[in-house]
């Protein structure tokens, strides 16, 4: 099948590449000429395991190509994916200007029936707005005989495992009332074989809400567990035992109940805020979501509070080794990362940071530039040199079994603030560390 994907960000690039990989003819279109030029040469703008080789292979076979030519892009695909960004506006609502611009572009150039597919996370009602925008342009062109449909097909991939998530989706949501579109979308996703029965067809607004409901439910689980961890800390209970105790109930499950330093990334914070905004805009007070957001904002400050208390409020002149900058492992993404809230609070209090991350060093450099209060270190060991204590913000695999003797020797005070519960408190105590966890018994 012939598919066009507008937007070569995370979602567009991964989806386009995987559709090419299963045999479709895919054209990825972006207005960013530099990015397209780089992609043509196999240079991937993001760090995503497995993606680069897939892009190269599929470009070589000719199934995947990149263009900035809108007319060519619209002429190519019977299916036109809209996978451009929906950044939050200042008030937290999703900014739809890029989505609507793509709708206009498609309407400007289309010469035959087109199925527009919303892949970006967009508020309920967006498909209707896309439909109206296309109709407006066709009217202006005097081409109202041209037919089209707008389908909602939200993406559920996770950064760091985007390729696998896309190849083996838990479900494929198709939101449309048009039977022809359903048939075409079923055919498009048929190569995913076993996953075929995972297609769930529904009306377009329900599909749009499904995406938000999924992310908000997951964010709720995390904020709930963070609240329990904070309570456990104060009550003298161990959140790790509690986690296992509740996770064993299949109605609760073990996934997404790890307490930590709050959720970050480009999805949860933005989507929770956007749904709160949608609810507010129709006069509905979404009490649960507001609490989820408030708990998360506070959770991002808990490591700093512990550090502050440990040093008796005297952070001026202190140096903290910091392991983990990205918002989660296997990505270089620093958007809404808890590490940023922590570093900025430490600097404001007069402390220095010696940081290491396996992937996010360049991104940190780009965000903060050269400054006296931040040293970017080449290894996790180098970050320890001369530091007063170690802080762990992201649970990278390579931090799981460090050389504890070396840590002990390097730190001026053998103290570890662990925002991800990476180590056993009893073991840490035995090794002579002062160990701060999230809700675990000392």
Binding mask 275-314 for ligand UGA (x = CB under 6 A): ----------------------------------------
- Classify burial at 409, counting beta carbons within 10 Å of its beta carbon; exposed 0-12, middle 13-18, buried 19 or more: exposed
**Helix or strand or coil: residue 170?**
coil
Closest CA to 225 of 271, 249, 250, 261: 261
Give min distance, CB of 145 to ligand UGA, in A. Answer: 37
Give min distance, CB of 367 to ligand UGA, in A. Answer: 17
Q: Which phi and psi (to 5°) does residue 186 adopt?
A: -65, -40
Among 54, 107, 157, 209, binds ligand UGA (CB under 6 A): 157
Residue nearer to ligand UGA on the CB measure, 327 or 436: 327
Among this protein's residues, is 267 annotated catalytic? yes
CA–centroid distance for 374 within its chain: 25
440 lies in the site for ligand UGA, by CB under 6 A = no
Distance CA 76, CA 21 (A): 18
The region of 68-76, 257-265, 282-290, 376-384 touching ligand UGA under the rule CB under 6 A is 257-265
Residue nearer to ligand UGA on the CB measure, 157 or 184: 157
Q: Is residue 320 a contact partner of residue 354, using CB atoms and an 8 Å limit?
A: yes
Question: Tokens 């109206």 — which residue?
Answer: 132
Among 175, 265, 425, 439, binds ligand UGA (CB under 6 A): 265
- Judged by CB under 6 A, the number of residues near ligand UGA is 20
The region of 38-46, 52-60, 153-161, 429-437 touching ligand UGA under the rule CB under 6 A is 153-161
Instruction: Count how many Cα atoms sit within 13 Å of the Cα of residue 359 in the half-sphere of its side chain.
Output: 19
Residue nearer to ligand UGA on the CB measure, 30 or 336: 336
44 lies in the site for ligand UGA, by CB under 6 A = no
Question: Tokens 């204590």 — which residue?
Answer: 389
Tokens, residue 256? 């997404």
159 lies in the site for ligand UGA, by CB under 6 A = yes
Residue nearer to ligand UGA on the CB measure, 105 or 220: 220
Binding mask 115-134 for ligand UGA (x = CB under 6 A): ------x-------------
Q: Which of residues 210-229 bind ligand UGA (CB under 6 A)?
A: 215, 218, 222
The region of 34-42, 137-145, 157-165, 364-372 touching ligand UGA under the rule CB under 6 A is 157-165
Among 163, 174, 239, 267, binds ligand UGA (CB under 6 A): 267
Residue nearer to ligand UGA on the CB measure, 256 or 408: 256
**Helix or strand or coil: residue 116?**
strand
Tokens, residue 3? 């598919």
Distance CA 404, CA 410 (A): 10
Residue nearer to ligand UGA on the CB measure, 263 or 399: 263
Residue nearer to ligand UGA on the CB measure, 268 or 311: 268
- The 3-class SS string of 223-268 reads HHHHHHHHHHHHHCCCHHHHHHHHHCCCCCCCCCCCCCCCCCCCCH
65 lies in the site for ligand UGA, by CB under 6 A = no
Give min distance, CB of 351 to ligand UGA, in A. Answer: 23
CA–centroid distance for 12 within its chain: 14
239 lies in the site for ligand UGA, by CB under 6 A = no
Instruction: Name the catalytic one among 28, 166, 267, 377.
Output: 267
Task: List, edge to edge, every strand of the sheet that includes 199-202.
Answer: 64-67, 25-29, 2-6, 79-82, 114-118, 148-152, 172-175, 199-202
**CA end-to-end distance (rounded Å), the chain:** 59
Distance CA 200, CA 405 (A): 53
CA dihedral 259, 262, 267, 271 (to 10 degrees): 100
Among 328, 340, 380, 440, binds ligand UGA (CB under 6 A): 328
CA angle, residues 149, 158, 58, in degrees to nearest 5: 70
- Classify burial at 131, counting beta carbons within 10 Å of its beta carbon; exposed 0-12, middle 13-18, buried 19 or more: middle
256 lies in the site for ligand UGA, by CB under 6 A = yes
Q: Contact residues for ligand UGA (CB under 6 A)?
A: 121, 155-159, 215, 218, 222, 256-258, 260, 263-265, 267-268, 327-328
- Among all residues, which ones are annotated catalytic? 267
């Amino acid at each position: 099948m012939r598919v066009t994907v507008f937007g070569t960000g995370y979602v567009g690039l991964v989806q386009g590449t995987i559709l090419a990989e299963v045999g479709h003819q895919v054209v990825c279109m972006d207005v960013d000429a530099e990015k397209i030029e780089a992609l043509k040469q196999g240079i991937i703008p993001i760090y995503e395991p497995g993606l680069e080789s897939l892009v190269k292979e599929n470009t070589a076979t000719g199934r995947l190509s990149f263009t900035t030519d809108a007319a060519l892009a619209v002429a190519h695909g019977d299916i036109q994916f809209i996978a451009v960004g929906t950044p939050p506006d200042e008030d937290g609502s999703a900014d739809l200007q890029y989505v609507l611009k793509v709708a206009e572009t498609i309407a400007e150039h289309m010469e035959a029936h087109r199925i527009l597919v919303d892949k970006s996370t967009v508020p309920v009602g967006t498909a209707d707005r896309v439909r109206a925008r296309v109709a407006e342009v066709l009217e202006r062109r005097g081409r109202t005989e041209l037919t089209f449909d707008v389908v909602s097909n939200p993406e559920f991939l996770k950064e760091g495992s985007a390729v696998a998530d896309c190849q083996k989706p838990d479900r494929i949501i198709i939101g449309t009332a048009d039977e022809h579109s359903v048939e075409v979308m079923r055919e498009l996703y048929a190569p995913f074989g076993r996953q075929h029965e995972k297609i769930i067809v529904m009306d377009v607004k329900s599909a749009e809400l499904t995406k938000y409901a999924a992310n908000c439910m997951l964010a709720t689980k995390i904020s709930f567990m963070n609240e329990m961890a904070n309570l456990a800390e104060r009550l003298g209970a161990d959140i790790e035992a509690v986690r296992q105790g509740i996770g064993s109930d299949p109605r609760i499950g073990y996934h997404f109940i790890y307490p930590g330093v709050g959720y970050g990334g480009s999805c949860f914070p933005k989507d929770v805020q956007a749904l709160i905004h949608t609810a507010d805009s129709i006069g509905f007070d979404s009490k649960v979501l507001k609490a989820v957001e408030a708990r998360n904002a506070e959770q991002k400050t808990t490591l700093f509070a512990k550090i502050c208390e440990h040093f008796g409020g005297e952070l001026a002149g202190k140096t903290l080794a910091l392991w983990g900058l990205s918002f989660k492992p296997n990505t270089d993404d620093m958007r809404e990362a808890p590490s940023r809230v922590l570093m900025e609070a430490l600097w404001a209090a007069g402390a220095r940071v010696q940081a290491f991350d396996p992937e996010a060093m360049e991104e940190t450099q780009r965000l903060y530039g050269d400054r006296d209060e931040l040293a970017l270190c080449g290894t996790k060991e180098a970050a320890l040199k001369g530091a007063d204590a170690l802080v762990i913000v992201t649970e990278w695999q390579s931090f799981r079994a460090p050389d504890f003797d070396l840590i002990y020797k390097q730190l001026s005070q053998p103290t570890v603030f662990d925002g991800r519960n990476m180590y056993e408190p009893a073991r840490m105590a035995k090794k002579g560390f002062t160990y701060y966890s999230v809700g675990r018994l000392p």
